Protein backbone atom coordinates (compact mmCIF):
# COMPACT_ATOMS: atom_id res chain seq x y z
CA UNK A 1 0.00 0.00 0.00
CA UNK A 2 1.38 3.42 -0.99
CA UNK A 3 1.99 6.14 1.61
CA UNK A 4 -0.72 8.34 0.09
CA UNK A 5 -3.32 5.61 0.47
CA UNK A 6 -2.32 5.07 4.11
CA UNK A 7 -2.65 8.79 4.78
CA UNK A 8 -6.05 8.90 3.10
CA UNK A 9 -7.25 5.92 5.11
CA UNK A 10 -6.18 7.68 8.29
CA UNK A 11 -8.02 10.86 7.35
CA UNK A 12 -11.17 8.96 6.41
CA UNK A 13 -11.06 7.11 9.74
CA UNK A 14 -10.68 10.45 11.54
CA UNK A 15 -13.72 11.85 9.75
CA UNK A 16 -15.78 8.77 10.58
CA UNK A 17 -14.98 9.05 14.29
CA UNK A 18 -16.91 11.22 16.73
CA UNK A 19 -16.09 14.88 16.16
CA UNK A 20 -16.90 17.53 18.74
CA UNK A 21 -17.63 20.99 17.35
CA UNK A 22 -18.00 23.60 20.09
CA UNK A 23 -20.66 25.75 18.46
CA UNK A 24 -22.34 28.40 20.65
CA UNK A 25 -25.67 26.64 21.23
CA UNK A 26 -23.87 23.58 22.60
CA UNK A 27 -21.48 25.68 24.67
CA UNK A 28 -24.42 27.50 26.28
CA UNK A 29 -25.82 24.20 27.51
CA UNK A 30 -22.39 23.06 28.71
CA UNK A 31 -21.93 26.32 30.62
CA UNK A 32 -25.26 25.76 32.35
CA UNK A 33 -24.33 22.19 33.21
CA UNK A 34 -21.00 23.34 34.58
CA UNK A 35 -22.78 25.81 36.87
CA UNK A 36 -24.94 22.96 38.19
CA UNK A 37 -21.89 20.83 38.99
CA UNK A 38 -20.28 23.77 40.77
CA UNK A 39 -23.43 24.65 42.74
CA UNK A 40 -23.25 24.14 46.53
CA UNK A 41 -24.95 21.01 47.78
CA UNK A 42 -28.50 21.34 49.06
CA UNK A 43 -31.48 19.07 49.64
CA UNK A 44 -33.30 20.23 46.52
CA UNK A 45 -30.60 20.65 43.92
CA UNK A 46 -31.48 22.58 40.75
CA UNK A 47 -31.50 20.60 37.52
CA UNK A 48 -32.07 20.83 33.79
CA UNK A 49 -34.23 19.21 31.12
CA UNK A 50 -32.70 19.48 27.65
CA UNK A 51 -35.13 18.52 24.92
CA UNK A 52 -35.39 18.65 21.16
CA UNK A 53 -35.73 16.52 18.04
CA UNK A 54 -33.95 13.20 17.77
CA UNK A 55 -30.43 13.79 16.47
CA UNK A 56 -30.31 17.46 17.41
CA UNK A 57 -27.19 17.01 19.56
CA UNK A 58 -28.40 16.20 23.08
CA UNK A 59 -26.37 13.01 23.49
CA UNK A 60 -23.30 14.68 21.98
CA UNK A 61 -23.45 17.37 24.67
CA UNK A 62 -24.00 14.82 27.44
CA UNK A 63 -21.04 12.71 26.36
CA UNK A 64 -18.78 15.74 26.05
CA UNK A 65 -19.42 16.75 29.65
CA UNK A 66 -19.11 13.13 30.80
CA UNK A 67 -15.63 12.92 29.27
CA UNK A 68 -14.61 16.06 31.17
CA UNK A 69 -15.55 14.38 34.45
CA UNK A 70 -14.30 10.86 33.93
CA UNK A 71 -13.87 8.80 37.14
CA UNK A 72 -10.52 9.35 38.89
CA UNK A 73 -8.88 7.14 41.48
CA UNK A 74 -8.03 8.87 44.77
CA UNK A 75 -4.97 7.03 46.16
CA UNK A 76 -5.24 8.76 49.54
CA UNK A 77 -8.84 7.75 50.18
CA UNK A 78 -8.44 4.52 48.24
CA UNK A 79 -11.62 5.07 46.22
CA UNK A 80 -12.59 6.18 42.73
CA UNK A 81 -14.21 9.61 42.63
CA UNK A 82 -17.08 9.83 40.17
CA UNK A 83 -18.53 13.36 40.12
CA UNK A 84 -20.79 12.71 37.13
CA UNK A 85 -22.77 9.65 36.10
CA UNK A 86 -24.23 9.44 32.58
CA UNK A 87 -26.92 6.80 32.14
CA UNK A 88 -29.37 5.90 29.43
CA UNK A 89 -32.92 5.50 30.65
CA UNK A 90 -34.11 1.88 30.45
CA UNK A 91 -36.43 1.02 27.53
CA UNK A 92 -39.36 1.26 29.93
CA UNK A 93 -39.73 2.90 33.38
CA UNK A 94 -38.56 -0.09 35.43
CA UNK A 95 -37.04 0.70 38.87
CA UNK A 96 -35.19 -2.62 39.28
CA UNK A 97 -33.71 -2.43 35.83
CA UNK A 98 -32.62 1.15 36.43
CA UNK A 99 -30.86 0.35 39.72
CA UNK A 100 -29.09 -2.62 38.17
CA UNK A 101 -28.02 -0.38 35.29
CA UNK A 102 -26.51 2.09 37.77
CA UNK A 103 -24.60 -0.66 39.57
CA UNK A 104 -23.22 -1.96 36.29
CA UNK A 105 -22.24 1.57 35.19
CA UNK A 106 -20.11 2.16 38.29
CA UNK A 107 -18.52 -1.28 38.12
CA UNK A 108 -20.12 -2.79 41.21
CA UNK A 109 -18.99 -6.44 41.56
CA UNK A 110 -21.86 -8.57 40.33
CA UNK A 111 -20.65 -11.63 42.26
CA UNK A 112 -21.51 -10.00 45.59
CA UNK A 113 -24.90 -8.64 44.67
CA UNK A 114 -27.09 -11.74 44.29
CA UNK A 115 -28.95 -9.52 41.86
CA UNK A 116 -31.88 -11.74 41.11
CA UNK A 117 -32.67 -12.27 44.77
CA UNK A 118 -32.49 -8.68 45.96
CA UNK A 119 -35.62 -6.61 46.34
CA UNK A 120 -36.00 -3.18 44.79
CA UNK A 121 -35.65 -1.65 48.26
CA UNK A 122 -32.33 -3.47 48.83
CA UNK A 123 -31.01 -2.34 45.45
CA UNK A 124 -32.07 1.22 46.26
CA UNK A 125 -30.12 1.23 49.54
CA UNK A 126 -27.03 -0.20 47.86
CA UNK A 127 -27.17 2.30 44.97
CA UNK A 128 -27.58 5.32 47.24
CA UNK A 129 -24.74 4.22 49.53
CA UNK A 130 -22.40 3.47 46.65
CA UNK A 131 -23.08 6.71 44.77
CA UNK A 132 -22.65 8.72 47.96
CA UNK A 133 -19.23 7.11 48.49
CA UNK A 134 -18.26 8.02 44.93
CA UNK A 135 -18.83 11.73 45.58
CA UNK A 136 -21.47 12.05 42.88
CA UNK A 137 -22.50 15.62 42.03
CA UNK A 138 -24.61 15.13 38.90
CA UNK A 139 -26.82 12.41 37.42
CA UNK A 140 -27.47 12.72 33.69
CA UNK A 141 -30.25 10.61 32.19
CA UNK A 142 -30.21 10.35 28.40
CA UNK A 143 -33.21 9.16 26.37
CA UNK A 144 -35.53 10.05 29.23
CA UNK A 145 -38.45 9.88 26.80
CA UNK A 146 -38.21 6.08 27.18
CA UNK A 147 -40.41 6.49 30.24
CA UNK A 148 -43.31 7.14 27.84
CA UNK A 149 -43.28 3.40 27.10
CA UNK A 150 -44.83 2.77 30.52
CA UNK A 151 -48.23 3.43 32.01
CA UNK A 152 -48.95 6.71 33.75
CA UNK A 153 -48.40 5.03 37.11
CA UNK A 154 -45.07 3.54 36.01
CA UNK A 155 -43.96 6.93 34.73
CA UNK A 156 -44.76 8.58 38.04
CA UNK A 157 -42.89 5.91 40.01
CA UNK A 158 -39.83 6.29 37.80
CA UNK A 159 -39.88 10.08 38.16
CA UNK A 160 -40.15 9.59 41.91
CA UNK A 161 -36.99 7.49 41.80
CA UNK A 162 -35.11 10.23 39.93
CA UNK A 163 -36.28 12.88 42.39
CA UNK A 164 -35.42 10.65 45.36
CA UNK A 165 -31.88 9.99 44.13
CA UNK A 166 -31.30 13.69 43.53
CA UNK A 167 -32.54 14.51 47.06
CA UNK A 168 -30.63 11.77 48.87
CA UNK A 169 -27.35 12.39 47.09
CA UNK A 170 -27.73 16.18 46.90
CA UNK A 171 -26.82 15.82 43.24
CA UNK A 172 -28.15 17.79 40.27
CA UNK A 173 -30.43 15.88 37.93
CA UNK A 174 -30.14 16.51 34.19
CA UNK A 175 -32.46 14.82 31.70
CA UNK A 176 -32.10 14.65 27.91
CA UNK A 177 -34.96 13.61 25.66
CA UNK A 178 -37.25 14.41 22.78
CA UNK A 179 -39.82 17.11 23.30
CA UNK A 180 -42.63 14.59 23.79
CA UNK A 181 -41.12 13.72 27.16
CA UNK A 182 -41.62 17.26 28.47
CA UNK A 183 -45.27 16.71 29.37
CA UNK A 184 -44.38 13.50 31.22
CA UNK A 185 -41.74 15.32 33.29
CA UNK A 186 -44.20 18.09 34.01
CA UNK A 187 -46.54 15.44 35.37
CA UNK A 188 -44.37 15.37 38.50
CA UNK A 189 -44.90 18.90 39.78
CA UNK A 190 -42.11 18.75 42.38
CA UNK A 191 -39.57 17.51 39.85
CA UNK A 192 -40.69 19.95 37.15
CA UNK A 193 -40.23 22.90 39.51
CA UNK A 194 -36.53 22.18 39.97
CA UNK A 195 -35.73 21.30 36.34
CA UNK A 196 -35.23 24.30 34.11
CA UNK A 197 -36.13 23.57 30.49
CA UNK A 198 -33.80 24.19 27.57
CA UNK A 199 -35.09 23.55 24.06
CA UNK A 200 -32.60 22.72 21.32
CA UNK A 201 -34.41 23.81 18.17
CA UNK A 202 -33.66 22.56 14.66
CA UNK A 203 -31.17 24.73 12.80
CA UNK A 204 -32.53 27.60 10.74
CA UNK A 205 -31.22 29.67 7.84
CA UNK A 206 -29.34 32.23 9.90
CA UNK A 207 -25.84 33.38 10.84
CA UNK A 208 -25.51 30.77 13.59
CA UNK A 209 -26.13 27.95 11.12
CA UNK A 210 -23.66 29.44 8.65
CA UNK A 211 -20.99 29.71 11.34
CA UNK A 212 -21.60 26.13 12.47
CA UNK A 213 -21.27 24.74 8.93
CA UNK A 214 -18.07 26.66 8.31
CA UNK A 215 -16.61 25.48 11.61
CA UNK A 216 -17.58 21.88 10.85
CA UNK A 217 -16.09 21.96 7.35
CA UNK A 218 -12.91 23.57 8.68
CA UNK A 219 -12.57 20.62 11.09
CA UNK A 220 -12.41 18.18 8.16
CA UNK A 221 -8.82 17.11 7.32
CA UNK A 222 -8.89 18.43 3.75
CA UNK A 223 -5.88 19.91 1.95
CA UNK A 224 -7.81 22.80 0.40
CA UNK A 225 -10.23 25.37 1.78
CA UNK A 226 -13.92 24.93 0.95
CA UNK A 227 -15.76 28.12 0.03
CA UNK A 228 -19.43 27.27 -0.26
CA UNK A 229 -21.97 29.75 -1.53
CA UNK A 230 -25.08 30.65 0.47
CA UNK A 231 -27.13 28.55 -1.94
CA UNK A 232 -25.17 25.44 -0.93
CA UNK A 233 -25.65 26.15 2.78
CA UNK A 234 -29.40 26.40 2.21
CA UNK A 235 -29.28 23.15 0.25
CA UNK A 236 -27.58 21.42 3.19
CA UNK A 237 -30.24 22.80 5.51
CA UNK A 238 -33.04 21.57 3.23
CA UNK A 239 -31.51 18.10 2.82
CA UNK A 240 -31.06 17.59 6.56
CA UNK A 241 -34.12 19.31 7.97
CA UNK A 242 -31.85 21.26 10.29
CA UNK A 243 -31.02 18.16 12.37
CA UNK A 244 -27.48 18.21 13.72
CA UNK A 245 -26.67 14.51 13.25
CA UNK A 246 -27.84 14.61 9.63
CA UNK A 247 -25.80 17.76 8.97
CA UNK A 248 -22.69 16.12 10.40
CA UNK A 249 -23.30 12.94 8.38
CA UNK A 250 -23.75 14.89 5.14
CA UNK A 251 -20.64 17.05 5.60
CA UNK A 252 -18.56 14.01 6.62
CA UNK A 253 -19.79 12.16 3.52
CA UNK A 254 -18.83 15.08 1.28
CA UNK A 255 -15.42 15.35 2.95
CA UNK A 256 -14.67 11.65 2.42
CA UNK A 257 -15.70 11.94 -1.24
CA UNK A 258 -13.39 14.96 -1.58
CA UNK A 259 -10.46 12.90 -0.26
CA UNK A 260 -11.15 9.81 -2.36
CA UNK A 261 -11.66 11.86 -5.55
CA UNK A 262 -8.56 13.99 -4.99
CA UNK A 263 -10.62 17.19 -4.99
CA UNK A 264 -9.54 17.90 -1.38
CA UNK A 265 -12.34 20.41 -0.81
CA UNK A 266 -16.11 20.42 -0.61
CA UNK A 267 -17.55 22.19 -3.63
CA UNK A 268 -20.92 23.71 -4.48
CA UNK A 269 -21.26 21.11 -7.23
CA UNK A 270 -20.70 18.29 -4.75
CA UNK A 271 -23.44 19.66 -2.48
CA UNK A 272 -25.83 20.04 -5.42
CA UNK A 273 -25.24 16.43 -6.55
CA UNK A 274 -25.20 14.82 -3.11
CA UNK A 275 -27.66 12.02 -2.40
CA UNK A 276 -28.03 9.83 0.71
CA UNK A 277 -25.82 6.74 0.63
CA UNK A 278 -28.78 4.35 0.80
CA UNK A 279 -30.33 5.80 -2.39
CA UNK A 280 -27.23 5.97 -4.58
CA UNK A 281 -27.64 2.51 -6.05
CA UNK A 282 -31.43 2.65 -6.28
CA UNK A 283 -31.62 3.50 -10.06
CA UNK A 284 -29.34 0.62 -11.07
CA UNK A 285 -31.26 -1.72 -8.78
CA UNK A 286 -34.55 -0.71 -10.40
CA UNK A 287 -33.05 -1.34 -13.86
CA UNK A 288 -32.04 -4.83 -12.75
CA UNK A 289 -35.55 -5.51 -11.49
CA UNK A 290 -37.11 -4.34 -14.76
CA UNK A 291 -34.76 -6.54 -16.77
CA UNK A 292 -35.74 -9.52 -14.64
CA UNK A 293 -32.22 -10.08 -13.38
Q: Please write the tens of the pLDDT for every residue from 164-175.
A: 999 999 999 999
In the chain, which segments carry CATH 3.40.50.300? 39-200
CA distances from 188 to 3, 128, 166, 181, 266 (A): 60, 21, 14, 12, 49
Residue-wise pLDDT tens digits, 255-274:
999 999 999 999 999 999 99
Instruction: Give kind and range of the element (H or E) at residue 239.
Output: helix 230-240
Which CATH fold topology does 39-200 show?
A: Rossmann fold (3.40.50)
pLDDT of residue 22: 85
What pLDDT score does 288 carry? 43
Cβ–Cβ < 8 Å for 37, 231: no
How far is it, in rounded angstroms, from Cα 89 to Cα 141? Answer: 6
What is the phi/psi pair of residue 2, to 5°? Answer: -75, 160
Report, as ranges of residue numbers, the positions in the chain whose pLDDT lies below 70.
1-4, 109-117, 277-293
- Residue 158: closest CA among 148, 170, 168: 148
Q: Which of 17, 51, 48 is nearest to 183 (CA)?
A: 51
Of 80, 244, 101, the C-alpha closest to 165 is 101
Total residue count of the chain as it appears in this document: 293
Please state, as a whole number, how many other Cβ atoms lie within 10 Å of the Cβ of residue 20. Answer: 12
- At 292 the pLDDT is 46
Nearest-angstrom CA–CA distance, 216 and 250: 11
Amino acid sequence: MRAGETENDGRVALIQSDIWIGFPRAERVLDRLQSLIDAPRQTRMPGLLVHGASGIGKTMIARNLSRRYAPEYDPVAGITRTPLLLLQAPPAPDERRFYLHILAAVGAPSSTLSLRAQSVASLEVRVVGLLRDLGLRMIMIDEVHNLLAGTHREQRRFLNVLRYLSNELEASLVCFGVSEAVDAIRGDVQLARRLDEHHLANWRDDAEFSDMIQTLIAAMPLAKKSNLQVKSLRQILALTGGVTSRIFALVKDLAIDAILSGEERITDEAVANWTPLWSRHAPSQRRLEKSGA
